[in-house]
Chain A
Amino acid sequence: DQQVKQNSPSLSVQEGRISILNCDYTNSMFDYFLWYKKYPAEGPTFLISISSIKDKNEDGRFTVFLNKSAKHLSLHIVPSQPGDSAVYFCAPQIQGAQKLVFGQGTRLTINP
């Protein structure tokens, strides 16, 4: 039973445009949502997070939106840069459970 789904395995965006990565979840106990970025041959690195008490969190070019009623979150990157080309994982957490549940990832490619 897949609790976290990133339905787009890949996404290609032109440099300077907006990248939107989506994530859907089924477990209503998730209360903290993290996005990780992974380059080849490296471990995932934390990018941005959002608590379930918020619907938006912004950090520079990165913004995460959370729609709890729809159990959906999205990561917006604007403007997209070539260095943003990576695999992005959505990883929700249940408070206090100390465990992340990863989606399968979306491979983002930024074209010059």
Chain B
Amino acid sequence: DAMVIQNPRYQVTQFGKPVTLSCSQTLNHNVMYWYQQKSSQAPKLLFHYYDKDFNNEADTPDNFQSRRPNTSFCFLDIRSPGLGDAAMYLCATSPRTGGTSYEQYFGPGTRLTVT
């Protein structure tokens, strides 16, 4: 089945220790997104890739970086995690829109704990 896969599902890191979350997709979608969702809050878009074009949200902290080495994979790097970065991180994909709107397909998320 075509899908969006996130690894690991649960990640524990220490305060200030860099961590990388990964996302892969078999949908062959052009667009990949990273969201942060804190408890009882709306998912918040951090950035997205339109093919290889990186689009950062204005309020995404510099501590968050992303890489997309190919169509299938996208990584979220948190350079120096703080306690406030503990959250669920959601990866999503979408086909190229070309002016038409398409829904986004989400992975199961990675829950990050910072100790």
Name A residues whose Cβ lies closer than 8 Å to a Cβ of B.
Answer: 4, 9, 31-32, 34, 36, 41-46, 49, 51, 89, 93, 95-96, 98-100, 102-105
Contact = CB atoms under 8 A, between A and B. Distances in A.
A83 to B, nearest CB: 18
B81 interface: no
A41 B9 CA distance: 9
A62 to B, nearest CB: 14
B45 A99 contact: yes
B4 A104 contact: no
Nearest to A100: B104
A49 B103 CA distance: 8
Interface stretch (B11-19, B62-70, B71-79, B106-114): B106-114
Contacts of B107: 43
A46 B99 contact: no
A8 to B, nearest CB: 13
Nearest to A94: B101
A98 B42 contact: no
B101 A32 contact: yes
B109 A42 contact: yes
A96 B99 contact: yes
A96 B97 contact: yes
Given A95-B99, A96-B97, A96-B99, A102 B43 contact: yes
